[in-house]
A and B are shown apart, each in its own frame.
Chain A
Amino acid sequence: MAEKSPLAVFYFAVLGILTAAFGFAYLLVTIGIVNEFTYSLMEIPGDMFGGGWGGIVLLSAGLFYLMGLKDFNEIHQFGKIVMASILIWLLAGCDIFVMITESIPGGDEGWFNTLSGFIETYYPPYTPAVLLLPFSLVVIYYIYNRNTREEKE
C-alpha cells in the first residue's frame, strides 16, 4: 500500500496550484482589484455569486488537492484529492447547466432558439472551472487503479 506515485503527486500538485490560483483570481475579479477578465478561451466571472461564492469553492478545491499530496496513497489523503475533483465537477457542472438552460429558449425571437443561436451558446470563452474539468477527470483513473489493486489484495 505504501506504493509511491511521483507522477500522480506531481500532476495533482500542478493541478492544485492552478486551481487555487484560479479560485484566487475569481475573488480578485469579484472584489474589483482586477477588472473583468476575458482572455481567449477563458472568462473569469466577477459577480458575487459566480465569482465570489464560486471563487471560494474553486480555491477550496485547489487547497484540497494540495492537502492530499502528502501520503497520496493513504485513503484519507486520497479522499481529499477525490473531493477536490468533485468540487470542480460541481462548479463546472453548474456552469454547463447554465449554458444548457440559456441555449434552449428563444427570448424575444421566438419560443425556441435558432440552431445557430443554440450552438453559439456553447462557444468559448468558458469559466476556469469548465477548463479544469477534463484535467480533474484524471482522478477517475486513480480511483479505478486503486479499486483494482484492492480487489487483488
Chain B
Amino acid sequence: MTLDAATRWDIIDKISKETIAFGKYRHTLTDAIGELTVKPGTGIPIAIAILYGFWSIFGSFAGFFTDGFFVRIFDEYWLVWLQGVFPGQGGWLYAIMVDAGGIQSGQFIPSDNCLEAFGVLTSGIFVAIGVVLPAILIFYFMLALLEDIGYMPRLAVLIDTLLHKIGLHGYAIVPTILSLGCNVPGVTATRILETKKQRFIMMTLLAIFIPCGAQIGIMEDVVPGLMGWIMLYLLIGYFIFGFVLNKIVPGEAPEFLIDVPPYRKPLVSNIFKKVWGRLVGFFKVALPFVLLGCAIVGILYMLEVIDWLAVVLSPIFIGWFGVPAETAGPLIAAFLRKDLAVAQLSTIEMTEYQMITAVVLVSIYFPCVATFAMMLKEGWKELLAALAVLAVVVFLYGGLIHVIGILLGVA
C-alpha cells in the first residue's frame, strides 16, 4: 500500500496530537543559572570562582594529608625503619633503593627526610603515596563532581572562542584539566579532538605547559608563595605558543557542536566509579614510571652523568636562563622526576625570581618519562615533532622569562 504525502501528514498530525502535550514552557531557576554559566559576561566570573574553589579545596585537602600526617609517617617511621633494616649502608644498592645520603670526611651521612633521600623505597614511595595520592584523589573527585553536575560542557562552551585562537575548541579543556592531575590520561584524552592538527597542538601544549598533580603537590609544599607566578607564566606560555602552533601547523581546526545537558544532582556511585577508575589508571600506568624514574635518577647521579651534564650545560643555564649553575642537575633529572626536581631546586640558594624561572623551566623542559611513553603510543612522528617544538619553546621562553626579569630589575 502506498500513501500519498497528504495522507502521511494527516497520520503524523494524528499521532503527534495523541502523544505530544503542548504547553508554555516556564524557565526554572536551574535553567536561569545554567544560562548564566555559559554567557561570557557572567560565565567567566563564575568559572573563576569555581576554579578558585577547586584549587582551594585541592590545596587544603592535599596539605591536610601530606603535611599533617604523611610527612611524619614517612620521615619519622618509614625512613628510619628502612635505614635500620636495609643492608649495605653506603653501597650502590642502598643508595638507589633507600638513601643516597651524603659523604662528609669519609663518613656516610644519612638523610633525615624522604624527599632528600632519593631512594626508590623512600622518595619514590613517599611521593607516590604521601604527595601524589591525596593530590590526585581530591583532584579527580572535584573533576568528577563538576562533570556529574553538568558544569564541564558549559565550561567548554564558555572557553570555546578563546581556545579557537590556538586551533583547539572548547572540549580541549577536558584534556587540559585532566593533565593537571596526571599528564598520562590528559594525553589519552586528546583523542576527543577531531583532527591531527588539534591533537598535535593539544599534546604538545600539555607536555610543555601543564604541570601534573605530583609537581603541583610538591610546589605547594616547597614553594607555596611562588605558585601564582609560576602558574601565570605557564598559562601565558600555553596561549602564546598555542597561537604560534596554530599558525604554523598545517591542517584543520573545525567547529564543535555540543549538547549542553541541564544541571543535575550528582550521583555518588558515578563519582566513586570515575575517581576509582582514574586512580587505578594512574597507579597502573604512571606509578611504575615514577618508581623507575627514581631508580634511574639515582643511577645517573651515582655514575656522575648528571653532574657532568650540569658542568657542560651550566653556561646555558647561567647565561641564557639566568639561574644558578647548581640548578642544571635538577633540571636535567626533571625528565625522569619533575616533582623531585622541584624539591631539589628548593634546597638551592637563589633569588625568588630565579626560583620562579627554574620551576617554570622544570615544567616546560621535557615531559616526564610516563607522558613520554604515552606520547610515543600516539605516534613516533608526532612525538618527534612535539620534542622539536619543545626544544625551541624551552630555549625561547626560558630566555624570555630571563629578559622579563632583567627588565623588571629582579633577575
Partners in one complex: yes
Q: Which residues from chain B contact A150 at a C-beta distance below 8 Å?
A: 26
Encode A127-153 as 1/0 by CB contact (under 8 A) with B: 000000000000000010010001000
Interchain CB contact under 8 A, A57 and B68 = no
CA distance A82 to B46 in the complex (A): 12
CA distance A117 to B120 in the complex (A): 37
CA distance A47 to B229 in the complex (A): 12
Partner of B49, one of A47, A57, A63: A57
Interchain CB contact under 8 A, B36 and A80 = yes
Q: Output the least CB separation between A8 and chain B (Å).
A: 15
Complex interface: stretch among B53-61, B203-211, B241-249, B308-316: B53-61
Chain B, residue nearest A80 (CB): B36
Q: Which residues from chain B contact A90 at a C-beta distance below 8 Å?
A: 49-50, 52-53
Complex interface: stretch among A13-21, A33-41, A93-101, A118-126: A93-101
Q: Which residues from chain B contact A111 at a C-beta distance below 8 Å?
A: 69, 72
The verdict on B28 contacting chain A, using a C-beta distance below 8 Å, is yes
Q: A49-B228, A83-B36 are in contact. Are A101 and B49 (CB under 8 A)?
A: no
Chain B, residue nearest A106 (CB): B68
CA distance A87 to B36 in the complex (A): 13
Partner of A60, one of B32, B45, B53, B225: B45
The verdict on A42 contacting chain B, using a C-beta distance below 8 Å, is no
CA distance A101 to B64 in the complex (A): 6
Encode B22-36 as 1/0 by CB contact (under 8 A) with A: 000011110111011
Interchain CB contact under 8 A, A75 and B228 = no
Q: Output the least CB separation between A85 and chain B (Å).
A: 11
The verdict on B15 contacting chain A, using a C-beta distance below 8 Å, is no
Partner of B27, one of A61, A76, A93, A101: A76
Q: Output the least CB separation between B33 and chain A (Å).
A: 5
Interchain CB contact under 8 A, A60 and B29 = no
CA distance A118 to B36 in the complex (A): 40
CA distance A85 to B59 in the complex (A): 23
Chain B: interface size category: 20 to 34
CA distance A101 to B142 in the complex (A): 17
Chain B, residue nearest A48 (CB): B228
Interchain CB contact under 8 A, A146 and B60 = no
Chain B, residue nearest A56 (CB): B48
The verdict on A46 contacting chain B, using a C-beta distance below 8 Å, is no
Q: A53-B52, A79-B33 are in contact. Are A101 and B42 (CB under 8 A)?
A: no
Q: Which residues from chain A contact B60 at a C-beta distance below 8 Å?
A: 94, 97-98, 101
Interchain CB contact under 8 A, A64 and B42 = yes
Residue from B29, B31, B35 with most neighbouring chain A CB atoms (10 Å): B29
The verdict on B255 contacting chain A, using a C-beta distance below 8 Å, is no
Interchain CB contact under 8 A, B49 and A79 = no
Partner of B56, one of A56, A75, A76, A94: A94
Given A75-B31, A97-B60, A105-B67, output 17 extra A-B contacts at Cβ < 8 Å. Answer: A53-B52, A57-B52, A60-B46, A63-B45, A78-B29, A79-B29, A79-B35, A83-B46, A87-B46, A90-B50, A90-B53, A91-B49, A91-B53, A94-B56, A94-B57, A101-B60, A105-B69
